[in-house]
Amino acid sequence: MNPFHFTQGSLPLLVSIPHAGTELTPDVEAGLSEAARGLPDTDWHIPLLYDFVRDLGASVLIGRYSRFVVDLNRPPDNQPLYTSATTGLFPETLFDGTPTFAPGKTPDDTARQGYIDQIWQPYHQQIQQELARLKAQHGYALLFDAHSIASEIPRLFDGRLPDINIGTNDGASCTPAMSAALEAVCAAQNDYSWVINGRFKGGYITRAYGQPQQQIEAVQLELAQLNYMDETPPYAWQQARAARLQNVLKALIHAMLAQAKPQ
């Protein structure tokens, strides 16, 4: 099975969605703990929430496998992403700290190497290929890494997460002008709380590919899930809330495209 869905667009923009996948390998499926079986840490419905970008003309890359198989937004050497509590390339625990796997059922090193070779690598090769194609065609490339997470996870952050969490690797993954353009969109609305480079500064994808000096600008958006879905199983999509949130997402994407366009 192809480990990702990819559609090519006409704009200089690639939208990457690494954590919405729910496919499992047989080893992982057989080994998941009771608490992990409902795939609680999935970035639920993100492809649907960002469906509009395809009509705009963006390229879209969507991982098909669950992060419980291998996390596409972690470095392949599994260095920790944050100094605070985090989860790794092969999450041993759920966000709330409960074990991901039943005792003795964690996939072995051979299985895990296979997940890197057959799932992690192809996703990243596709990002690299597409960014190179966009740059060749347009002279620059934009990468938008789309995520969501439950609004309250005491083990990972205090209190309630802001609604909109923009990450630019502390300013290293895009130009200051791009950061300012996104900030202006956030500041122009009063519906959602927001922060830039707060708890979520951008994961491996944002950090690895955001190289503004090479004409590649990358931004991560971590959304609080309550603004478009129920945060408890079965994690239902909430259309009215989603439609309202999509207005801001569209404004952010348009601002990104307008800012990057050569004058």
Residues near Zn ion (CB under 5 A) are 19, 43, 147
Find the helix or strand (DSSP H, E) in which 15 lies.
Answer: strand 13-17
Query: Minimum distance between the CB of residue 110 and Zn ion, rounded to whole angstroms?
Result: 27
Q: Give the nearer residue to Zn ion in terms of CB position, either 85 or 102.
A: 85
Query: Minimum distance between the CB of residue 74 and Zn ion, rounded to whole angstroms?
Result: 11
| Structural tokens at position 155 | 């083990």
| Structural tokens at position 133 | 């194609």
Q: Are 14 and 59 a contacting pair, CB within 8 Å?
A: yes
Query: Minimum distance between the CB of residue 95 and Zn ion, rounded to whole angstroms?
Result: 10
Task: Choose among 223, 259, 258: nearest CA to 50.
Answer: 223
Which CA distances in Å does 219 have to 25, 37, 45, 168? 30, 31, 19, 5
Q: Are 59 and 130 a contacting pair, CB within 8 Å?
A: yes
| Structural tokens at position 110 | 């051979």
Q: Are 141 and 12 a contacting pair, CB within 8 Å?
A: yes
Q: Give the nearer residue to Zn ion in terms of CB position, either 19 or 74.
A: 19
Query: Minimum distance between the CB of residue 149 and Zn ion, rounded to whole angstroms?
Result: 6
Q: Give the nearer residue to Zn ion in terms of CB position, either 41 or 130.
A: 41
Q: Give the nearer residue to Zn ion in terms of CB position, either 73 or 179.
A: 73
Query: Minimum distance between the CB of residue 203 and Zn ion, rounded to whole angstroms?
Result: 7
CA 28 to chain centre: 21
Q: Give the nearer residue to Zn ion in terms of CB position, either 149 or 196.
A: 149
| Structural tokens at position 99 | 């074990």
CA dihedral (205, 210, 211, 214) positive or negative:
positive
Query: Minimum distance between the CB of residue 148 and Zn ion, rounded to whole angstroms?
Result: 7
Q: Give the nearer residue to Zn ion in terms of CB position, either 9 or 21.
A: 21
